[in-house]
């Protein structure tokens, strides 16, 4: 579900073999947006990428509903052997991952570029 | 700002919203602005707003089971608790009552979606109390000290 009303604004395939998907989200992700967010996160998994990078640099706010969508993505991706990374979290968004200790579960990178190229 | 204006600035703010997810952001913004009036740091104001967001989300999902046209009342006020300046936030619903004994933070070692709201509220606020009401519904009272 891509579109101006949902939080996911862009899905881009990158990498040497075009097998890394970068999902760019924006805005505030709370209960109101979490269903659309989750659906948009899951769709690229059907094409079996080797890695999913979720670009959160334009996300200004996230609550536990948004975090739950990312945890669902992680759970399903792990079953398929797909690596999930988060990039560009601002201080406010990062703090909810720290409060819930999920900052130790997700690979969190300062930028999309680092998340894409790091081993 | 004269004394009476200052008192009015910190006067209680009462909001009535429906249990529609799009109203969560409306309340969140108002809470953050009220915290700023009381002199909270940006970080603390953000923590209070996040706690209110999580509380409203719980009301919508668990007290009202996703019904979007049910009433929620939010009252925020400056107060004194244990001789300290504090913000008191009360959130009232008329939905399925919550049993306070069953409300607890879940084990964070379990990597699964959901169940994080209460943990977040307890981490971000200085006290979180659920009070089941005799007629119907629940009153949640949260306190955050102005100067930690």
Domains and CATH numbers, chain B: 3-145 (3.30.565.10)
pLDDT, position B101: 66
* Residue A2 located in a structural domain: no
| Mean pLDDT in residue range B81-92 | 95
DSSP sequence for chain B:
--HHHHHHHTS-EEEEEES-THHHHHHHHHHHHHHHHTT--HHHHHHHHHHHHHHHHHIIIIISTT-SS-EEEEEEEEEEETTEEEEEEEEEE-SSPP-GGG--PPPTTS--SS--HHHHHHHHSSEEEEEE-SSSSEEEEEEEES--
Among chain B residues, the shortest Cα distance to A71 is held by B113
Q: What is the CATH number of the domain that holds A92?
A: 3.30.750.24
| Mean pLDDT in residue range B121-140 | 94
Among chain A residues, the shortest Cα distance to B60 is held by A31
Say yes or no to pLDDT of A40 above 80.
Answer: yes
- Which pLDDT tens digit goes with each residue over A25-39? 999 999 999 999 999
Task: For residue A16, give its domain range.
Answer: 8-117
Distance from CA of A105 to the nearest CA of B (A): 8
The confidence band for B15, taking pLDDT boundaries of 50, 70 and 90, is very high
- More reliable by pLDDT, B7 or B38: B38
Determine contact: B119 vs chain A, CB below 8 A. Answer: yes
* Residue A107 located in a structural domain: yes
Q: Across the interface, do B120 and A92 touch by the CB < 8 Å criterion?
A: no
| Mean pLDDT in residue range B26-43 | 96
Question: Residue A63, CB half-sphere, CA atoms under 13 Å: how many?
Answer: 30
For residue A63, give the nearest of B57, B111, B123 by CB distance: B57
* Residue A95 located in a structural domain: yes
* Residue A101 located in a structural domain: yes
pLDDT, position A16: 82
For residue B113, give the nearest of A28, A72, A95 by CB distance: A72
pLDDT, position A36: 96
Nearest to A57 by CA among A110, A21, A115, A3: A110
Q: Across the interface, do B61 and A69 touch by the CB < 8 Å criterion?
A: no
| Mean pLDDT in residue range A67-76 | 96
- Total domain count, chain A: 1
Determine contact: B28 vs chain A, CB below 8 A. Answer: yes
pLDDT, position B148: 63
Q: Give the rounded percent of residues in chain B with a pLDDT score beyond 70.
A: 86
Q: Residue B111: its chain A contacts at CB < 8 A?
A: 71, 74-75, 102, 105
Distance from CA of B62 to the nearest CA of A (A): 13
Instruction: Say whether the ipTM exceeds 0.95.
Output: no
Q: Across the interface, do A96 and B120 touch by the CB < 8 Å criterion?
A: yes
């Amino acid at each position: 579900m891509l579109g101006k009303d949902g939080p996911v604004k862009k899905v881009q395939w990158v990498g040497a073999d075009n097998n890394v998907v970068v999902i760019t989200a924006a805005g505030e992700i709370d209960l109101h947006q979490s269903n659309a967010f989750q659906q948009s996160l899951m769709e690229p998994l059907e094409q079996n990428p080797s890695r999913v990078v979720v670009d959160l640099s334009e996300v200004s706010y996230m609550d536990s509903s948004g975090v739950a969508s990312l945890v669902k993505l992680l759970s399903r991706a792990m079953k398929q052997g797909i690596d999930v990374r988060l990039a560009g979290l601002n201080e406010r968004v990062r703090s909810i991952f720290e409060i819930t200790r999920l900052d130790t579960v997700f690979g969190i990178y300062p930028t999309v570029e680092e998340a894409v190229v790091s081993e | 700002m004269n004394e009476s204006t200052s008192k009015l600035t910190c006067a209680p703010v009462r909001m009535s919203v429906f249990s529609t997810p799009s109203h969560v952001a409306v309340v969140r913004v108002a809470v953050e602005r009220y915290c700023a009036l009381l002199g909270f740091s940006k970080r603390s104001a953000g923590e209070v707003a996040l706690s209110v967001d999580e509380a409203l989300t719980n009301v919508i999902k668990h007290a009202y089971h996703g019904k979007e046209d049910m009433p929620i009342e939010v009252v925020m006020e400056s107060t004194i608790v244990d001789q300290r300046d504090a913000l008191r936030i009360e959130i009232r619903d008329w939905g399925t009552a919550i049993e306070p004994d069953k409300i607890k933070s879940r084990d964070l070692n379990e990597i699964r979606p959901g169940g994080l709201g209460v943990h977040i509220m307890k981490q971000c606020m200085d006290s979180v109390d659920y009070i089941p009401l005799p007629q119907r519904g629940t009153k949640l009272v949260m306190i955050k000290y102005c100067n930690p």
